[in-house]
Amino acid sequence: MANIMIQGTTSSAGKSFICTALCRIFKEDGYKVAPFKSQNMSSKFYETEEGYKMSTAQALQAKAAGIKPNPNMNPILLIPNSDKGSDVIIKGKFYNRMEALEYFTYKDELKPMIKEAYKNLEKENHIMVLEGAGSPAEINLKENDIVNMGMAKMADAPVLLVADIDRGGVFASLYGTVILLEEEERARIKGLIINKFRGDKRLLDPGIEMIEELLNIPVIGTLPLTPLELVDEDSLIDYEKHCNLFPQREDEIEGELGKLSKMVRENLDMDYIYSLLKLD
Q: Tens of pLDDT along 19-33?
A: 999 999 999 999 999
Closest CA to 119 of 280, 1, 278, 277: 1
Asked whether residue 217 is assigned to any structural domain, the reply reads yes
pLDDT in the model for residue 248: 52
What span, in angstroms and rounded, lies between the C-alpha atoms of 253 and 251?
5
Asked whether residue 280 is assigned to any structural domain, the reply reads no
The confidence band for 232, taking pLDDT boundaries of 50, 70 and 90, is low
Give the tens place of pLDDT for each residue, 69-93.
999 999 999 999 888 889 999 999 9
Asked whether residue 278 is assigned to any structural domain, the reply reads no
pLDDT in the model for residue 252: 82
Give the tens place of pLDDT for each residue, 96-147.
999 999 999 899 999 999 999 999 999 999 999 999 999 999 988 888 899 9
What are the strands, taking DSSP E only, across the chain? 2-8, 33-36, 39-41, 46-47, 53-54, 76-80, 85-90, 93-99, 127-131, 159-164, 189-197, 219-224
DSSP, collapsed to helix, strand or coil, labels residue 139 as: coil
What span, in angstroms and rounded, lies between the C-alpha atoms of 11 and 136?
10
39-43, 168-172, 225-229, 266-270: range with lowest mean pLDDT: 225-229
Mean predicted confidence (pLDDT) in 223-237: 68
Whether residue 251 has pLDDT greater than 80 = no
Whether residue 235 has pLDDT greater than 60 = no
Q: List, in order, residues 6 or more apart from 151 with CB less than 8 Å away.
A: 5, 38, 114, 130, 132, 145, 157
Q: By the 8 A CB rule, do 246 and 231 touch? A: yes
Q: Would you tell me how many other CB atoms lie within 10 Å of the CB of residue 211?
A: 23
Half-sphere CA count of 44, side-chain side, radius 13 A: 18
CATH of the domain at 47: 3.40.50.300
Higher-pLDDT residue of 188, 166: 188
Report the mean per-residue pLDDT for the chain: 91
Pairing of strands 2-8, 76-80: unpaired
Asked whether residue 279 is assigned to any structural domain, the reply reads no
Q: List, in order, residues 6 or more apart from 154 with CB less than 8 Å away.
A: 111, 114, 115, 118, 146
Query: Can you give the residue range of the structural domain that contains 112?
Result: 2-273
pLDDT in the model for residue 260: 94
Whether residue 200 has pLDDT greater than 90 = no
Structurally, the chain folds into a number of domains equal to: 1
Asked whether residue 207 is assigned to any structural domain, the reply reads yes
DSSP, collapsed to helix, strand or coil, labels residue 44 as: coil
pLDDT in the model for residue 237: 41
